[in-house]
């Protein structure tokens, strides 16, 4: 089962997200700020990241810039912002920064699960296509 990293500084929100994802059969890692999230990403290479934006130590934008800029081998890892910053401008900024999707709080768990499933399916298709190309190149 895929591993998802949840980076969220609000304990109750983080616990609710973890519970929903685990109930859906995912392995879930957690971090409570961007710096710890970076450590988890580098140490575990999760299949997908769900990340708040406004956090101590390193915010979600800084974390995403770090991952997309310095760790090119992780460029295919889906990154979903989940934030209380819900204005259209914030959503657009998050997507322009490189997030694959942007969800808002309060958390709509059905939307969260559907977005996670969609992102993981897309990654599976990309990996399948790349494996096909490698097989055909032999």
How is the chain split into domains, by residue range?
3-137
Written as tens digits, the pLDDT of the chain (138 aa) is 899 999 999 999 999 999 999 999 999 999 999 999 999 999 999 999 999 999 988 999 999 999 999 998 888 899 999 999 999 999 999 999 999 999 999 999 999 999 999 999 988 887 766 665 555 555
CATH class of 3-137: alpha beta
Which SS3 state, helix, strand or coil, does residue 67 take? Answer: helix
Global model pTM greater than 0.75? yes
- For the CA atoms of the chain, what is the radius of gyration? 15
Strands, E assignment, 18-127: 27-31, 48-51, 79-83, 101-104
């Amino acid at each position: 089962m895929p591993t998802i990293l949840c980076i969220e500084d609000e304990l109750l929100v983080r616990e609710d997200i973890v519970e929903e994802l685990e109930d859906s059969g995912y392995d879930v890692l957690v971090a409570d700020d961007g710096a710890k999230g970076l450590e988890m990403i580098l140490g575990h290479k999760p299949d997908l990241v769900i990340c708040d934006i406004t956090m101590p130590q390193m915010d979600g934008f800084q974390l995403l810039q770090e991952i997309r800029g310095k760790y090119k081998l992780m460029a295919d890892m889906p990154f979903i912002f989940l934030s209380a910053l819900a204005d259209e401008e914030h959503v657009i900024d998050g997507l322009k920064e490189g997030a694959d999707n942007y969800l808002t709080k309060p958390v709509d768990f059905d939307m969260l699960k559907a977005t996670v499933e969609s992102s993981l399916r897309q990654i599976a298709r990309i990996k399948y296509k790349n494996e096909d190309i490698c097989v055909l190149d032999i």
